[in-house]
A and B are shown apart, each in its own frame.
Chain A
Amino acid sequence: MRLIAAMSGGVDSAVAAALAVEAGHDVTGVHLALSQQRAQLRSGSRGCCSVEDADDARRVAAELGIPFYVWDMADRFAEDVVDDFVAEYAAGRTPNPCLRCNEKIKFAAVLDRAQALGFDAVVTGHHARLADGQLRRSVDAAKDQSYVLGVLTARQLAGAVFPLGSMTKDRVREIAAERGYAVATKPDSHDICFIPDGDTRGFLDRRLGEAPGPVVDAGTGAVVGEHRGTHGFTIGQRKGLGIAVGDQRPRYVLGIEPVTRTVTVGTAEQTGVDEVRTGTPTWAGPVPAWPLEAQVQLRAHGAAVPCTVTEDDGGLVIALHTTQRGVAPGQSAVLYEPDAERGDRVLGQAAVLRAGARSTV
């Protein structure tokens, strides 16, 4: 196959490109320039896409003897990922920008351009298994990225190659070290790449401005504090609430109402939900028959729980078999078919609209 290897400058995409070359594919390396103001040097594990990252990717491509180019996707990224991220917080939701980037940039803008230019697919360093059009969890449970790929449709998956899903992250670093790549020991990036200082709250303050409002206790209806903007909160959040309540029991964010700028907090028991309603789903394979017995994962790095899924008015109604806490609107509900042998299979996903106790949703 003729492949575009999306090379971030990190160890995963370097090894993915190397494995694609060794498998005999005709590979061209591409580094995506996503930031409009590119820092010269990266600092530790924070962010990516600095000039130094582009240079790291170029070094690996040169060792592999493959062509290498930088594609400027900064405008698309700003619009589809960064602006979306800000708008979601402004609407009281908790977005996942990595998922959005996979959906709109890597396996849309980049894949479309690659295919128009005569390539068959895009190879990336994501930790997930993809074979016969079926997307499954990585063998490395701690590094599994199937959740942020769950949004990809069957058509997008047909244009994707993930060589790393059948190996652990440690093995990836070993392969890089065996080949002498300097990126073998480069730290993993774990922050949001367009917020390199890691200060999401500060970033949102700059974009949205301060908009103070009350923090209300769900039990008593009393105003127990004031906040600088609803964008500083996510459902289930416990720390940094800045409130004073009579009893000493911890409070969690239950609800965010951006129009009245009200943040509602409650006790641990009040955060439990067992029904989730979603927007329009996307499917990684065929549309399932209803009701669907499956597992659902409701946030990155969260555990998957058994559920029964039905359809209602274009969205999904997900009945959780066990009560969950901190289910935030805006997050993706990714449905899995459990498979201990081959890896849990991704069925599809939909964005959480609201969640609550079954009778109240």
Chain B
Amino acid sequence: MTYLDHAATTPMLPEAIAAMAEQLARVGNASSLHASGRAARRTAEQAREQLAEALGARPSEVLFTGGGTESDNLAVKGMFWARRDADPRRTRIVVSPAEHHAVLDSVEWLVEHDGAQVTWLDVAPTGEVTAAALTEALGDGQDVAVASVMWANNEIGAVSDLTALAAAAHAVGVPIHTDAVQAVGQVPVDVAASGVDALTMTGHKLGGPMGAGVLVLRRDADCTPLLHGGGQERDVRSGTLDVAAITALAVATTTSVAGRVERAARVAALRDRLVAGVVELVPDVQLNGPALDSVVAGGPGRLPGNAHLSFPGAEGDALLMLLDANGIECSTGSACSAGVARPSHVLLAAGADPDRARSSLRFSLGHTSTDADVDAVLAVIAPVVERARRAGLGRRSA
């Protein structure tokens, strides 16, 4: 099996599995006052401190959630509600159309059900959002509740300069949230240095468990809760802490961030060899997103494991199916709830034509990727593309 879908989820790190298994065997609610509760609380707070350290945040800014989707919902809706409550003129949300659906659909829900307006940010053809685009969209910022721009794009790997974006937002008094689910452990992420007000991250993209994530929320950022109950997380998020998952999340994040430089170089080299090999075998392939060696704010301008390619004349879902039959697992943009592959909304947002969006495939490499994985793709890609092209784009002429 050749697993090249690490951006969907990546194998858990052995040390994270060990830490989680150890905690699963223990009893104790971190909110209980007795000895078992105190022990659970101590473990959870140690994890919080480790995460704060790894992310460049203060421990009190680390709020545990059920994952990236919850963190995005909480930040977008919660900050919109809190900021509008403080000043009813603030009904506008400024957001990139290339965001993950956890952000996009939260914004659209607020528009449909809660009187929000949205201003869509211009996305560069390579997928990133510039500070100039944000400044233009914000205007004087008086009517803006919140801005949200992802740190690194999950589909085409484009990294935006959140330090510059945060400065642009703050210049007109607007708080900014960033979905950094794909960025943490892949590119340098430092919450304090960047100045962002809220940051989403999750465990299972970097070797931690599913169902455990974080919203880093600055202490002075107002955010109305989504979930009401015990108020466990700074009264912004309720729910019994999953100490075992949190512990594994902290171990995975710490390990991933600590090993980032060495791993990113290794994974990027594999990715570069994959792309070069495909270009040689399928000369008209198109690379989507930033150049492989692009630089943003002194760091990588593209996620090191991301190779997003369009194969003109072939349909992404046919390519995926044929590669799957050859034991190679990768991804097309996204699927609807029934499982229909949809053209990548990210490519469309970046201005690509629909055919290019429909013919695209994402290979995402990660910590377990090897030269053998790259070889496996290169061994079959040419005949697979040829066959998918024969099946055409599902058109009448095909």
Contact = CB atoms under 8 A, between A and B. Distances in A.
Interface of A: 28, 31, 33, 38, 40, 51, 54-55, 58, 67, 69-73, 75-76, 109, 112-113, 116-118
> Which among A71, A75, A76, A112 has the highest number of chain B CB atoms within 10 Å?
A71
25 contacts: A28-B321, A28-B325, A33-B340, A38-B336, A51-B337, A54-B338, A55-B338, A58-B339, A67-B321, A69-B321, A71-B317, A72-B317, A72-B394, A75-B394, A76-B394, A76-B396, A112-B398, A113-B392, A113-B398, A116-B392, A116-B398, A117-B318, A117-B321, A117-B387, A117-B390
A54 B338 CA distance: 6
Nearest to A118: B387
A67 B324 contact: yes
A38 B336 CA distance: 10
B339 A67 contact: no
B376 interface: no
A70 B387 contact: no
B388 interface: yes
Which DSSP category, helix, strand, loop or mixed, fits chain A's interface? Answer: mixed
A71 B392 CA distance: 13
Contacts of A40: 337
Contacts of A33: 338-340
Contacts of A71: 317, 340
Contact of A117 (B322, B337, B341, B396): B322
A253 B302 CA distance: 69
Interface in B354-398: 387-388, 390-392, 394, 396, 398
Contact of A67 (B325, B336, B398): B325
A69 B322 CA distance: 11
Contacts of A76: 394, 396
Which of A58, A70, A112, A117 is the most central at the interface, judged by chain B CB atoms within 10 Å of its CB? A117
Nearest to A113: B391
B173 to A, nearest CB: 42
Residue from A31, A55, A70 whose CB has the most chain B CB atoms within 10 Å: A70
Given A38-B336, A69-B320, A70-B340, 4 more contacts: A69-B317, A70-B338, A113-B391, A116-B391
Interface in B324-341: 324-325, 335-341
Interface in B68-104: none
Contacts of B396: 76
Contact of A31 (B317, B339, B391): B339
Contacts of A118: 322, 387
B394 A113 contact: yes
Nearest to B318: A117
B393 to A, nearest CB: 11
Interface centre among A40, A69, A109, A112 (most CB of B within 10 A): A69
A113 B338 CA distance: 20
Pick from B340, B396, B398 the residue with the most CB of A within 10 Å: B340
Nearest to A50: B338
Contacts of A38: 336-338
A12 B82 CA distance: 54
A118 B341 CA distance: 20
A28 B326 CA distance: 13
Closest 4 CB pairs of A and B: A116-B391, A70-B339, A54-B338, A116-B390
A156 B147 CA distance: 56
A183 to B, nearest CB: 16
A33 B321 CA distance: 16
A119 to B, nearest CB: 10
Contacts of A112: 391, 398
A38 B335 CA distance: 14
Contact of B340 (A55, A72, A116, A117): A72
Given A70-B338, A112-B398, A117 B391 contact: yes
A13 to B, nearest CB: 16
A356 B391 CA distance: 45
Nearest to B339: A70
B338 A117 contact: no
Question: Which of B337, B339, B387 has its CB near the most chain A CB atoms (within 10 A)?
Answer: B339
Nearest to A67: B324
Contacts of B391: 112-113, 116-117
A51 B387 contact: no
B339 A69 contact: yes
A73 B391 CA distance: 14
Contacts of B341: 70, 72
Contacts of A54: 338-339
Contacts of A51: 337-338
A84 to B, nearest CB: 14
A326 B398 CA distance: 39
A112 B395 CA distance: 11
B359 to A, nearest CB: 14
A159 to B, nearest CB: 14
Contacts of B387: 116-118
Contacts of A70: 335, 338-341
A67 B327 CA distance: 11
B147 to A, nearest CB: 33
A290 to B, nearest CB: 35
Contacts of A113: 318, 391-392, 394, 398
Nearest to A2: B325
A75 B391 CA distance: 16
Contacts of B318: 113, 117
A67 B325 CA distance: 8
A124 to B, nearest CB: 19
